[in-house]
Amino acid sequence: MRYSGFRLIREGFRGNTGWTRAWRDPSPRPDYDAIIIGGGGHGLSTAYYLARNHGITNVAVLEKGYLGGGNVGRNTTIVRANYFLPGNSEFYSHSLKLWEGLERELNYNVMHSQRGHMILFHSDGQRDAAARRGNAMAAQGDDAILYDREGVRAMLPFLDYEQARFPIHGGLFHPRGGTARHDAVAWGYARGADRRGVDLIQNCEVTGIDIENGVVRGVQTTRGPIRARKVGIVVAGRSSQVAAMAGMRLPIESHVLQAFVTEGLKPVIDHVISFGMGHFYISQSDKGGLVFGGDLDFYASYAQRGNLPMVEHVMEAGMTLMPMIGRARVLRSWGGIMDMSPDGSPIIDRTHVEGLFLNCGWNYGGFKAVPASGWCMAHLMATGQPHEVAARYRLDRFATGRGLMDEEGTGAQHSLH
């Protein structure tokens, strides 16, 4: 069923009785051209672009839970292209361009809202770094504006400009940055892939990967064995477990990142605001809730929930930046399993097994990457060659030390990001 304004009005008059399922619920077939393990944002977009860009439609996405139940439905929804290093710049730039056409492409309202993204700086040194980053963004063809303190004040009058600890010196503004409705992105890609013939199979956990003489043959699942000529591992926080099924040990640690949402409020925060010194970022959802998050809890975790010390830290950071939110009541908090790579950048690459491909290492920034990651993963799986904007996301960069992309400049080691 195609969605449109006309359809919406008609269904309104018919008591919404005419809507059909957004995708089928097929049983697994014994054999596919390609299997994608993981029905998160990246797995679904990979399946969609395999069908759309490469005409490979005999594809199954195998999801152990329900579609979008992982990180893709748990993030703070920030979409931006303000990366600095070659390798990341062109990739996230490509992703943002795909975001800009995504609703038309998918015939699905993902509520992409380019409300602008502001990163604050608090010292001369940080101003220089922000100017440099802004120039890198402009050189990549994206947009960046450096604002001084008064410029930021005109836009964000509610920040605390008097505090002495981290005085606001200005901000780097990225007008095309913003947010999107996270679940809708998963659902939009799911529906798009299904309509092109992809089987989306839920409650189907992959428990083994079948390999013969160095070539992938298929997978073992809780719903039986399934053969395939190509298999993509796209499981974010569970990458280490699934890769171990193919005898691989990955440069990944899984950590917990928490997020929070308040009760719905009238519109107060028009942009996305990042307060790096407090590891705090915030935006307001279209329903009115203030959506915000902070840093990792900094211990390995698969619990999908964090602990109170980080909750306290995030609240403190929020109050430091914008005391006006102090009386908003927090409704919920939750956590996701982050696939942390040593240099903070992702991996989209072949493996030592022919026909087996790996997509992981998204750290806390993989939501904005959903379109380009699927685009490039599909390209890699279909052609065997890396896509040009993801050519640097190689697995062997850690072994060789060549091409590390440490965006934060803290060192390409675990526990430093």
Partner 1 sequence: MRVTCPYCGERDRREFTIQGDDTSLRRPGRDAGAEAWHAHVHLRDNPAGRLREMWYHDPCGAWIVVERDTVTHAVHGSVPAREAAR
Which spans of this chain sit near partner 1 (rule: CB under 8 A)?
238, 240-241, 249-254, 298-303, 307, 309, 342, 398-399, 413-415
415 binds, among ligand FAD, partner 1, none (CB under 5 to 8 A by kind): partner 1
Comparing every residue's Cβ against ligand FAD, the nearest one is 40
Please tell me whether residue 210 binds ligand FAD under the rule CB under 6 A. Answer: no
**152: Cβ contacts below 8 Å, ≥ 6 apart:** 118, 120, 159, 168, 170, 171
What are 85's two structure tokens? 């290093």
| Inter-residue long-range contacts of 106-109, CB under 8 Å, 24+ positions, other chains counted | 106/188, 106/189, 106/191, 106/192, 107/2, 107/3, 107/192, 108/3, 108/184, 108/187, 108/188, 108/191, 108/192, 109/3, 109/181, 109/184, 109/188
Pick the closer one to ligand FAD by CB: 169 or 254: 254
Please tell me whether residue 278 binds ligand FAD under the rule CB under 6 A. Answer: no
Please tell me whether residue 65 binds ligand FAD under the rule CB under 6 A. Answer: yes
Minimum distance, C-beta of residue 362 to ligand FAD, in the bound complex (Å): 3
Minimum distance, C-beta of residue 232 to partner 1, in the bound complex (Å): 20
Please tell me whether residue 228 binds ligand FAD under the rule CB under 6 A. Answer: no
188 binds, among partner 1, ligand FAD, none (CB under 5 to 8 A by kind): none
364 binds, among ligand FAD, partner 1, none (CB under 5 to 8 A by kind): ligand FAD
Minimum distance, C-beta of residue 360 to partner 1, in the bound complex (Å): 11
Pick the closer one to partner 1 by CB: 286 or 408: 408
Which span (8-16, 133-141, 254-262, 309-317) binds ligand FAD, by CB under 6 A?
254-262
161 binds, among ligand FAD, partner 1, none (CB under 5 to 8 A by kind): none
Pick from 259, 361, 270: nearest CA to 311: 259
Question: Exactly one of 259, 269, 273, 378 binds ligand FAD (CB under 6 A); which one?
Answer: 259
Please tell me whether residue 362 binds ligand FAD under the rule CB under 6 A. Answer: yes
Minimum distance, C-beta of residue 356 to partner 1, in the bound complex (Å): 18
Minimum distance, C-beta of residue 308 to partner 1, in the bound complex (Å): 9
Question: Exactly one of 28, 32, 59, 64 binds ligand FAD (CB under 6 A); which one?
Answer: 64
Give the footprint of ligand FAD on this chain (CB under 6 A).
37-43, 62-65, 69-72, 74-78, 205-206, 234-238, 242, 257-259, 293, 336, 338, 362, 364-368
